[in-house]
Structure 1
Amino acid sequence: MTISPSITTPAITIAARTPVATGVIALTLVPADGQDLPPWRPGAHVDVTLPSGLTRQYSLCGDPADRSSWRIAILLAQPSRGGSAWIHDHAREGVPLTVSAPRNLFTLEAAERYVFVAGGIGITPLLPMITEAERAGVPWTLWYGGRSRSSTAFTDELIQFGDRVHLVPRDTAGRIPITEVLDTPGAGTAVYCCGPESMIDAVQDACRDWEPGTVHVERFTPEAQEGTTAFDVHCARSGVDVRVEEGVSVLDALLEAGVEADYSCAQGFCGTCETRVVEGVPDHRDDYLDHSAAPDTMMICVSRSRCARLVLDL
């Protein structure tokens, strides 16, 4: 069971459940007291804590200007680790949910033009970005790939934008021609991509000659990292010493040794397991921290050590 100490909003209930593609449902969430929800910006996500204690992160994919409701979309994972299956089986109108305040690790930056690239459920954080770009009158295009047209979510909303939206179902059209789409660096252009690892790698490779900072990505899973050498961890407050073996995360080693540690996604995204480093040099492998601004903390679910011994504030 995962643990989430996230600050939550006032009580949230499900106002509507809508199928938006094969295996994908959208939930409209509203505050039980009828008050305005906290504001958010495109790219934000919320943590949803289920009755089992599992916590899952979902991008807000509605209209940021709407303070009366939030929308999230959930793909039924195959196989499910328990989160998406529970939601698909039990999330109905009137069901309460524990939902955190929005957090944003994928902020939409100002640009003269946007190119959005989505794969599957990766469309969710890009939908409000398209809404904001449209309101601001900033030119944009979307390339959206999926297994099939029926599994491609929110197509009814997207086709209203005409030829600015390129739907690429893999079963009939193959894959997005990323090298062609991103063949020429555009001055003032920002690229936003969310989807499978292979798609993100292709986008980053295609944009290797673009100006630094113009490509923004959000991953489904942590970026692959090389090197998993064993090391030791000393817990300064509890006095426990733990050996972190090759291929084992710091978090798992600590939990196995009986050390209490907060965590949620266990993938380096949510920030729940951020831990202060008292001594040693962490090997950051997360997608949450600004490592230059926070050199003395680490995400123990994915990050490792650059030295033989770390001392953590646990």
Structure 2
Amino acid sequence: MDLTRAELDVVVRRREYAADDVVTLTLADPRGAELPDWAPGAHIDLLMTPSLIRQYSLCGEPANRTEWRVGVLLDPNSRGGSQFVHDRLREGAMVRVRLPRNHFPLVSSPRYLFIAGGIGITPILPMITAAEAAGSQWQLLYGGRTRSSMPYLDVLERHGRRVTICCRDKREGPDFRTALTAALSEPDGNTGVYCCGPEGLLEAVGTACERWPDNSLHVERFSARSRDDTVEGLTSFELECRRSGVTFTVAQDQSIYQACEIAGVDVLGSCMEGVCGTCESDIIEGELDHRDSVLNDAEQDANETMMICVSRARSQRLVLDL
């Protein structure tokens, strides 16, 4: 079975508010069976309708095989996903999910610096649990507008001085950017930096980590990095889908995903922005123009996988394991 495509129905066992406009859903198998295992950094897809699919980080305990937990912020500019969760997924509701995938794995390290902004704390919570279990040293910088907007403070503040809370209204804690500058001022090859939050935070952390050793920084994005989406300069190329046994042309103004759908090739996708990793496909042959916001520089240079919703071929021919 291709576990990246496997789906199951789960029930909302509990629903509770973790902060202003943040709801935590506890999901379980309706028959009480164990759920598939997962590791810190993983997310699941909620298939709310056939056309409404969203990804949410698992924020519970990986050791708890009876429940999954996700925290969902009601986005004022919601395209339907967070609004559906807040309005429709009450206790007892059923929802279909895709099994956990992980593009933000926690790499073993003697020390960690975790950095989160707002709802970006969700993938960090199980990482802290794992770091504790491994005996690693760790610190957390957690920023938000106000205390009431920051989920899971009650859990995090039990860790005492290892957690620094920065509220933007400046009624509590240090200025977030000042704290970031201090924490990242001295590069340390034995510290893994894990960051999740809005794009402004990721850019600031990325700039501060430019002097750090390669692969020190690990990030997860809510939205795609800015890129040039114009077709000017793009070229068509030949695509062979090896498993499907078909070859066709991907036009200048088409994505690989769109071309595959037209050709009848079975592909899986969701965000269509190169963020969620659902459409990740193995590369057999070809030179790539990686345009996603999932793979880091080393993973893109390895040229082993690509996100077919946004990335393209630089070569005239591309062969994928599709």
Q: Structure 1 residue 281: deviation in Å?
A: 2.6
Which residue number corresponds to residue 120 of structure 1? 118
Alignment partner for residue 236 of structure 2, among 221, 232, 235?
Answer: 232
CA distance, structure 2, for counterparts of residue 224 and residue 75 of structure 1: 23
Does 2:146 match 1:148?
yes
Matched, 1:272 2:278: yes
Kindly provide the CA deviation profile for residues 37-75 of structure 1, in whole angstroms up to 9, marking residues without a partner as x: 111111111111113432111111001111111100111
Aligned residue in 2 for 1:176: 177
> Structure 1 residue 170: deviation in Å?
1.3
CA distance in 2, matches of 1:274, 1:141: 32
User: What's the % identity of the aligned pairs?
Assistant: 45
Q: Deviations over 1:191-221 (max 9, x none)?
A: 1111112211211221222222221111112
Paired with 1:278 and 1:190, the residues of 2 have a C-alpha distance of: 31
Match of 2:312 among 286, 299, 304: 304
1:110 equivalent in structure 2: 108
Q: Select the residue among 202, 205, 227 that pairs with 2:204.
A: 202
Letter in 1 for 2:202: I
Q: TM-score, normalised by structure 2?
A: 0.84
Supply the AA of the counterpart residue of 2:273: Q
Match of 1:47 in 2: 45
**Residues 15-39 of structure 1, C-alpha deviation per residue, up to 9 Å, x if partnerless?**
0011111111000011112121111
Equivalent of 1:212 in 201, 211, 214: 214
CA distance in 1, matches of 2:302, 2:195: 24
| One-letter amino acid of the structure 2 residue matched with residue 49 of structure 1 | L
5+ residue gaps in structure 2? none
* DSSP 3-state at the match of 2:55: strand
Alignment root-mean-square deviation, CA:
2.8
Number of equivalenced pairs: 306
1:145–1:176 contact (8 Å) kept in structure 2: no
Deviation at 1:136, TM superposition (A): 2.7
The match for 2:7 is 8
1:163 corresponds in structure 2 to 161
Deviation by residue 1:207-250 (Cα, 9 ceiling, x = unmatched)? 222222221111112233458523214455666545333xx755
Instruction: Give the unaligned 5+ runs of structure 1.
Output: none
Q: Which residue of 1 aligns with 2:63?
A: 65
CA drift at 1:183? 0.8
In the TM superposition, what are the counterparts of 1:241-260 in structure 2 within 5 Å?
241-245=249-253, 249-251=255-257
